[in-house]
Amino acid sequence: MNTEIQFDLIFTIVNKGSCQTIIKASKEAGAEGGTIVIGRGTGIRETKTLLGIPIEPEKEIVLTIVPQNITEKVLSAIVEAGKLDQPGAGITFVIELKKVAGICHLCDLESSLLK
């Protein structure tokens, strides 16, 4: 495990059906892909009813690990593609990762770029 290389996790939560747009935009900005997880929302904008019964809409959560040197580019692409600057469209945030294993090809690529 190479600890010199810094990675971020871009965590994006969008309405069901929007994750492919997010994945496509992040790949075009330099990310290699992402992991999609299904969830449910409970925010103030999530209150919807079906025949008078409240329902919780399904969400898609996209987890994308990227080298820190492309975090801003990928994040901007996600915000633009997902229209995350509009209310109720979703949310994205970045978490700095202390250690990463299992993406050795990215570590090798980043190491060669640093030399």
Residue 1 domain-assigned? no
Contact 60, 38 (CB under 8 A): yes
Residue 63 lies in a domain: yes
Calculate the CA dihedral of residues 64, 65, 70, 73 and round it to 10 degrees: 10
Residue 2 covered by a domain: no
Reduced to 3 states, what is the DSSP secondary structure of residue 15? strand
Q: Report the pLDDT value the prediction gives residue 103, as an integer from 0 to 100.
A: 75
Classify the phi-psi angles of 102: left when phi > 0, otherwise alpha if psi is within -120 to 50, otherwise beta: left
- pLDDT beyond 50 at 74: yes
Q: Which domain holds residue 73?
A: 7-114
Asked whether residue 87 is assigned to any structural domain, the reply reads yes
Q: Name the pTM for this structure.
A: 0.79
Residue 106's Cα: distance from chain center in Å?
17
Q: Which stretch of DSSP H or E encloses residue 40?
A: strand 35-40
71: CATH: 3.30.70.120
Q: Tens digit of pLDDT for each residue in 7-60? A: 999 999 999 999 999 999 999 999 999 999 998 776 655 566 667 665 567 899
Alpha-carbon span 8 to 29, nearest angstrom: 15
pLDDT value for 40: 79
- What is the domain count for the chain? 1
Comparing 19-23, 81-85, 100-104, the range with the smallest average pLDDT is: 100-104
